[in-house]
Amino acid sequence: MKTERNHKLNNFKLHRGHFLRQRSTAEGGESCKFLFPMAAVLSTLLLLLIFSRSFLGTFSLGVGINYGQIANNLPSPSRVSILLGSLNISRVKLYDADPNVLTAFANTNVEFIIGLGNEYLQKMQDPQEAQIWIQQKVQPYISQTRITCITVGNEVLGGQDYQLPQYLVPAMKAMHQALVTLGLNSQVIVTTAHSLQILKTSFPPSNGAFRDDLIQYIQPILSFHATYNSPFLINAYPYFAYKNDPKNVQIEYLLFEPNSGSVDPNTNLKYDNMLYAQIDAVYSGIKALGHSDVQVRISETGWPSKGDVDEPGATVENAGIYNRNLLQRMQDGQGTPAHPSQRIDIYVFALFNENMKPGPTSERNYGLYYPDGSPVYNLGVQGYLPRIDYSSSAKYALSIFRVLVLIIGSLFFS
């Protein structure tokens, strides 16, 4: 995409240079100053329109983004919508169903995953409660904002609350039935997101298996996904492997940097990074339970740019390396060694650093951006966070028009 942007800029410069030469060599010099051919005006205007959209962002990250909001210093959702538009990000994952966000992204064509918090699971087993939630959180916005998925709970299995797992599948079924009742099931799917704590074995990937105590919950979840064609979501963080054992874990293997890799002795497949091995381990666990019809997607992955003294590797440099290399691989449309034809689908964590998240310092420093819109590190893309809120598309269009007028004026009178 960087090449494409440079190509547009070069075309613009060449076109403008041709126009200036045309003026300087015209008969009569000053007398021909305003004899600018109409065709050139139209073509220049077209290029400027293309360029005006480009300077707000021609690049695309090629992934989805987690938009967390556990902070007291974040920009307004309307400003965030412009930032994501400038990055050409078209998929966003929320942890709730914030009406301010869904309203701010109306008519933007951005796809949203919205979340139902763990605290609501027990209540949402009741089909009536599930329907009320859909009527309040989805129906008012879906005609203008693309809501395509609901995550029912987050990292419920393998967590510290041992009561929650029993509510998970009934809540998922009730939410799906509510969508059917309201005629929205063709637009919105239902799933849940898991941490890798659900695995008892992750290496070699071909031996990947789920924890025995969780199979009673995972089996019906897989049947649900297979029936309704919804994905199995995992939150995968290779960083934790390094944090837990920095002396024995090769950091290059985690950062997608050149390394010796590892070979699965059962399949002879070579892995040059841990994330792909983790994905294939989950696929193996799913297959072991009798399913080859469920797709795995990464609902969270990232690397912290700052940590406590006992969080080695949490640096700006490593975070930049991890996400740049990850984005490059997503641009290349890669699959994993065991599933090379299945393009990996990823949501990066996270859009902003969130200053009110509990836990170690790293938890507050996974963002690609600081709350003021400046990048934490160079990703090879440039986003644009406006300093003021745009209340309507008309104001935005007017600002672009003013820029065009100024540029065209400089072309005529320079």
Is the pLDDT higher at 408 or at 190?
190
pLDDT at 4 exceeding the cut of 80: no
Q: How far is CA 390 from CA 77, 88, 387, 403, in A?
A: 11, 18, 10, 16
CB hemisphere CA count around 227 (13 angstroms): 13
pLDDT at 49 exceeding the cut of 90: no
Determine the pLDDT at residue 404.
Answer: 57
pLDDT at 292 exceeding the cut of 70: yes
Compute the average pLDDT of residues 224-241.
98
Compute the average pLDDT of residues 46-61.
39
Compute the average pLDDT of residues 266-293.
98
Who contacts 65 (Cβ-Cβ below 8 Å, separation ≥6)?
A: 84, 89, 91, 92, 93, 347, 348, 350, 351, 368
pLDDT at 412 exceeding the cut of 70: no
Who contacts 96 (Cβ-Cβ below 8 Å, separation ≥6)?
A: 114, 115, 117
Taking each helix axis from N to C end, the angle separating 2-24 and 38-54, rounded to the nearest 10 degrees, works out to: 150
Three-class SS state of 232: strand
Determine the pLDDT at residue 408.
Answer: 60
Which three-class secondary structure string do you get for 45-89?
HHHHHHHHHHCCCCCCCCCEEECCCCCCCCCCHHHHHHHHHHCCC
Is the pLDDT higher at 153 or at 29?
153
Choosing from 4, 27, 30, 155, the catalytic residue is 155
pLDDT at 297 exceeding the cut of 60: yes
Choosing from 252, 300, 317, 363, the catalytic residue is 300
d(CA 35, CA 187): 55
pLDDT at 81 exceeding the cut of 60: yes
Determine the pLDDT at residue 380.
Answer: 79
Q: What is the pLDDT of residues 192-204, one digit of tens each?
A: 999 999 999 999 9
pLDDT at 280 exceeding the cut of 60: yes
pLDDT band at 32 (very low <50, low <70, confident <90, very high): very low
d(CA 102, CA 99): 5
pLDDT at 6 exceeding the cut of 50: no
Determine the pLDDT at residue 406.
Answer: 54
pLDDT at 349 exceeding the cut of 80: yes
pLDDT band at 161 (very low <50, low <70, confident <90, very high): very high
Q: Among this protein's residues, is 300 annotated catalytic?
A: yes
d(CA 236, CA 57): 29
Q: What is the pTM of this model?
A: 0.80
pLDDT at 208 exceeding the cut of 90: yes
pLDDT band at 20 (very low <50, low <70, confident <90, very high): very low
Which range has the worst mean pLDDT, 37-41, 200-204, 218-222, 367-371?
Answer: 37-41
pLDDT band at 243 (very low <50, low <70, confident <90, very high): very high
d(CA 198, CA 188): 26
Is the pLDDT higher at 38 or at 288?
288
Determine the pLDDT at residue 24.
Answer: 38
Who contacts 165 (Cβ-Cβ below 8 Å, separation ≥6)?
A: 156, 157, 214, 217
194 neighbors 154 (Cβ within 8 angstroms): no
Compute the average pLDDT of residues 282-293.
97
As a whole-number percent, the residues of the chain with pLDDT over 90 amount to: 74
Determine the pLDDT at residue 386.
Answer: 77
As a whole-number percent, the residues of the chain with pLDDT over 70 amount to: 78
Q: Among this protein's residues, is 155 annotated catalytic?
A: yes
DSSP class of residue 29 equals G
Average model confidence (pLDDT) across the chain: 85
pLDDT at 394 exceeding the cut of 70: no
Determine the pLDDT at residue 393.
Answer: 46
